[in-house]
Amino acid sequence: MQEDSALARTKQPSLLRAKIVKSASELFFEKGFSKTTSSELCSKVGMGTGNLTFYFPTKEHILAVLVQMMIDYQWKEMENAADEGKSSLLAYCLELSTLVAIADEFPEMNDFIAAAYSHPMTLELIRANDVEKVKQVFSEYTQGWDDERYTEKEAITSGIEYATIMKTEHSASVEHRIEGALNTIMILFDVPEETRKIKVAKVLAMDYRAIGRKVYEDFKRYVTETNEHNLEEISKNTKAKSKK
C-alpha cells in the first residue's frame, strides 16, 4: 500500500496536489481552518497522513493557496465594480465592509480570515497584494509617494483591517467598526474629509450584509470552479503525457 502511494505521488504530484487543495477548500468552508485536522483532510482525499507533507509541509501552506484565490477573486470583483461604474475607492470601501459583514455572520470565514492575517506566510501574500491595491485606489491622493511610504501605510492598514474584522465580546457594532476603519484608512492616504464622508455614507446606506452573503457565496463558487478547472486541466495534461 505504501509503495503504491509513493508511486502515485511520484507519477501524479500535480493531480494529487490539486485534489488536496479541493478537499481542503471544502473542509475550510464547512468547519473553518483551525478546526480542520490533517487526518480529516487525508481521509477525504484518500491518502496517508505521512504523504500530505510531501505536497504541503504544513497546513498553512494549503491556506496560502486559498488566500491567493481570495486575492485573485478580490481583483476580479474590483474589475467588475469598475465595469459597473463604481470608483476604485468606493469598490475598496465596499470590499472591506462586506468582508467585515461576512466574518461577523459566518464563523468559518472569521476563522479563515483570522488565520490568514495571523500566519507570516499568508500575511505576506496579503500585504504584497494590498500594497499594489492601495497604489491603484489612492493614487489620486498620494502624488509623489514612493514604494516605502506605500508599504509603511499598508502595514498600518492591514492591522486596522484585522482589528475591524475580528469580532470579540468587546467589539463595537459592525456599522461602527466599518465607519471607523474606512475613515482611518482614508485619512492615512490623505483622502479629503468631504470625500471620506461621501464614501462612508454610500457604503453604510447599502445593505452590506446582504451584499456580503452574496459575495461569500460567489467566492465559494469561484474557489470550487477554480479547483475543478485545475483538476480538469491537470488530468488532460497527464493523459496527454501518458500517450507519448
For position 50, what pLDDT does the model report? 80
Q: pTM value?
A: 0.86
Is the confidence at residue 235, as pLDDT, over 60? yes
Interval 3-16 mean pLDDT: 52
**% of the chain with per-residue pLDDT over 90:** 77
Is the confidence at residue 168, as pLDDT, over 90? no
Is the confidence at residue 6, as pLDDT, over 80? no
Is the confidence at residue 1, as pLDDT, over 80? no
Is the confidence at residue 78, as pLDDT, over 90? no
Length of the chain: 244
pLDDT band at 243 (very low <50, low <70, confident <90, very high): low
For position 158, what pLDDT does the model report? 94
Is the confidence at residue 128, as pLDDT, over 90? yes
Q: Phi, psi (5° rounding) for residue 45?
A: -75, -35
Is the confidence at residue 73, as pLDDT, over 50? yes
180-234 pLDDT tens trace: 999 999 999 999 999 999 999 999 999 999 999 999 999 999 999 999 999 998 8
Q: Is 161 exposed, middle or buried (0-12, 13-18, 19+ CB in 10 A)?
A: buried
List b or e across 185-208, with b for residues whose CB sees 16 or more CB atoms inside 10 angstroms. Answer: bbebbebeeeebeebbeebeeeeb
For position 190, what pLDDT does the model report? 98
Which residues does 206 contact at the CB level (< 8 Å), separation at least 6? 94, 97
CA-CA distances (angstroms) from residue 77 to 70, 121, 198, 206, 218?
10, 24, 21, 17, 10
